[in-house]
């Protein structure tokens, strides 16, 4: 699930690849914890742990109970859980976040970031999105939100202790000042924000003042990080959070995207979490070069965690990497009905429906190979690559046939069909960058097929990956690959995700 340090002494960015945007980080002793946005997926807010900022492992999801996260079925994709902020104060972890289209701004607490986390504390007086928490020396809790406005908050009761007041909002006229984070560092209070929108114009800016309310003096070098109007392979850079290592050095975690193909470039994995070093000059942070391969930091690196590529569904609980759309009802999804298999009972008729029964994991590599053994004797379902209800590809089995479908906007089409003997079948998809042709070449190709008894893979249909990209579909998420049931009952014996790429 993480970036890795390489044998040549470099670090592979992104450190958390795939659809992991809006990172927020805190350090407690020698341990780092990081959370990301999860939008319409349940469970929500993945929680990661690291000892070195480079190698990360997912230790849970903060919102793993229906009482914590209710996502209405009529809520559109790319709504839901936006931009959490994670902080540690007075022996507790605090997690503030916006549930767009449902509960608004809410607050959770835990003594262990792996969980359990509390039920949500509503914050009816906190406006906007992207809330942040910071405590001053007197114990006052300051909440800052996109816009940028600020108020005093009682984090125990959820009550406002002051009215929201506008503060520094970045460059005059710049769009979308958001993702505020307030810090006390040395003699100053620093207000870090993103601006320019979360697309190619995204950037990071900062200001400082003598108090948490300012007035704030903008950094003369703003924006301190942006890749706009460049050919850099990492684009959309912004929504950052600062963290200090035990040796006193600093780093920035941020989101970015890796477009591929021709013009205008399509990013298909979503916005990912990157790491970049920070130094301080004259009281201002100076951000180092953000590269796909960067020198390893000076502190010791932890062993690379080994993440299994195969899931055999032998445990009662699914690994926290597995996510579903809006909800995961126990009566429709589980591993106990048929021992060693994941069983899905259909609700919606297809992945076009908001209540589709789907269990998937984020695509984290631009080249990957996915296989699953499906038994659809009592239903219809299979393997899908999903961006949202209107943009997904799938290979689907029933009792005697396999079909490949593509949903692109208003169009749903059958790409291929093949008859098969009744019985379990291995379905698969191979994803790889498209060979360069001209400026119109898409980012990658997705080849769907079946694995024959002798192990060979027969491709039934190959599809252009640009239609499962943010630049085509819109929104804020990335691809999720997984299993679904479209009718009746469908069983899955195992799921295998492999790649030869480091990220």
Question: Where are the domains positioned within the chain?
Answer: 10-295, 310-498
pLDDT in tens, 268-291: 999 999 999 999 999 999 999 999
Q: If we measure between CA atoms, which residue out of 487, 495, 499, 498 comes closest to residue 373?
A: 495
pLDDT above 90 coverage of the chain, percent: 91
Q: 310-498: same fold as 10-295?
A: no
Name the residues annotated as catalytic: 22, 178
Residues 6+ apart with CB under 8 A from 109: 92, 93, 94, 95, 117, 118, 121
Domain 10-295 CATH (choose: 2.115.10.20, 3.40.50.280, 3.40.50.800, 1.10.150.120): 2.115.10.20
| The two three-digit tokens of residue 125, written as one number | 């007086």
pLDDT (0 to 100) of residue 426: 98
CA distance linking residue 336 with residue 488, whole number of Å? 17
pLDDT (0 to 100) of residue 349: 85
471 φ/ψ angles, rounded to the nearest 5 degrees: -65, -25
Residue 4 predicted with pLDDT over 60: no
pLDDT band of residue 84 (cuts 50, 70, 90) is very high
Beta-strand ranges (E) seen in 4-156 are: 10-12, 24-28, 31-35, 41-42, 44-50, 57-63, 80-89, 92-100, 104-110, 121-122, 132-135, 141-145, 149-153
Residue 390 predicted with pLDDT over 70: yes
pLDDT (0 to 100) of residue 307: 60
CA distance linking residue 148 with residue 26, whole number of Å? 22
Beta bridge partners, 382, equal 396, 484
Radius of gyration of the chain (CA): 23
Q: Which helix (H) or strand (E) holds 471?
A: helix 470-473
Sequence length of the chain is 503
Report whether 117 contacts 109 (CB < 8 A): yes
Higher pLDDT, 7 or 498: 498
Report whether 454 contacts 15 (CB < 8 A): no
Q: If we measure between CA atoms, which residue out of 97, 137, 106, 142 comes closest to residue 124?
A: 106
Mean pLDDT computed over 167-178: 94
Mean pLDDT computed over 302-313: 77
Residue carrying the six token digits 């893979």: 457
Report whether 19 contacts 480 (CB < 8 A): yes
Q: If we measure between CA atoms, which residue out of 416, 443, 476 comes closest to residue 198?
A: 476
| CATH number 1.10.3720.10 given to 310-498 | no
Residues 6+ apart with CB under 8 A from 149: 127, 128, 164, 165, 166, 167
Q: If we measure between CA atoms, which residue out of 266, 483, 490 comes closest to residue 385?
A: 483
Dihedral sign computed on CA atoms, order 268, 272, 276, 282:
positive
């Amino acid at each position: 699930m993480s970036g890795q340090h390489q044998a040549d002494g470099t670090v592979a960015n992104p450190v958390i690849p795939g659809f992991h945007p809006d990172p927020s980080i805190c350090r407690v002793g020698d341990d780092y914890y990081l959370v990301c946005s999860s939008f319409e997926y349940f469970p929500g807010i993945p929680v990661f742990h690291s000892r070195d900022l480079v190698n990360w492992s997912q230790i849970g999801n903060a919102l793993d109970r229906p009482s914590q996260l209710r996502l209405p079925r009529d809520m559109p994709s790319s709504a839901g859980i936006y931009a959490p902020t994670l902080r540690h104060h007075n022996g507790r972890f605090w997690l503030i976040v916006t549930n767009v289209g449902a509960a608004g701004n809410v607050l959770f607490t835990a003594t262990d970031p792996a969980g359990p986390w509390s039920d949500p504390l509503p914050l009816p007086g906190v406006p906007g999105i992207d809330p942040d928490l910071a405590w001053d020396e007197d114990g006052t809790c300051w909440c800052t939100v996109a816009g940028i406005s600020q108020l005093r908050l009682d984090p125990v009761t959820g009550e406002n202790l002051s009215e929201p007041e506008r503060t520094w909002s970045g460059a005059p006229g710049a769009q979308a000042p958001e993702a505020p984070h307030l810090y006390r560092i040395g003699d100053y209070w620093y207000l870090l924000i993103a601006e320019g929108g979360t697309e190619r114009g995204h950037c990071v800016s900062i200001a400082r003042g003598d108090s948490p309310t300012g007035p704030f003096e903008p950094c003369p070098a703003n924006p301190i990080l942006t890749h706009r109007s460049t050919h850099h392979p990492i684009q959309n850079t912004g929504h950052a959070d600062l963290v200090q290592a035990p040796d006193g050095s600093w780093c920035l975690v941020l989101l970015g995207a890796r477009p591929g193909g021709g013009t205008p470039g399509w990013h298909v994995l979503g916005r990912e979490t990157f790491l970049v070093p920070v130094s301080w000059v004259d009281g201002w942070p100076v951000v180092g070069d953000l590269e796909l391969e960067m020198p390893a930091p000076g502190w010791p690196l932890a062993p690379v965690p080994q993440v299994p590529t195969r899931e055999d569904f032998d445990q009662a609980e699914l690994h926290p990497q597995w996510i579903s759309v809006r909800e995961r009802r126990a009566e429709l999804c589980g591993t106990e009905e048929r021992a060693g298999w994941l069983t899905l009972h259909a609700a919606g008729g297809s992945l076009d429906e908001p209540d589709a029964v789907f269990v998937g994991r984020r695509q984290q590599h631009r080249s990957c190979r996915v296989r699953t053994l499906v038994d659809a004797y009592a239903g219809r379902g299979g393997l899908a690559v999903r961006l949202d209800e209107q943009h997904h590809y799938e290979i689907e089995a029933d009792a005697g046939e396999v079909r490949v479908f593509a949903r692109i906007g208003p169009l749903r089409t059958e790409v291929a069909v093949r008859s098969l003997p009744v019985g379990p079948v291995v379905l698969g998809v191979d994803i790889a960058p498209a060979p360069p042709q001209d400026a119109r070449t898409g980012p990658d190709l997705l080849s769907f097929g079946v694995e024959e008894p002798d192990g060979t893979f027969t491709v039934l249909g190959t599809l252009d990956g640009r239609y499962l990209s943010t630049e085509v579909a819109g929104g804020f998420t990335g691809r999720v690959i997984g299993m679904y049931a479209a009718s009746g009952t469908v069983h899955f014996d195992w799921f295998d995700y492999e790649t030869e790429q480091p990220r």
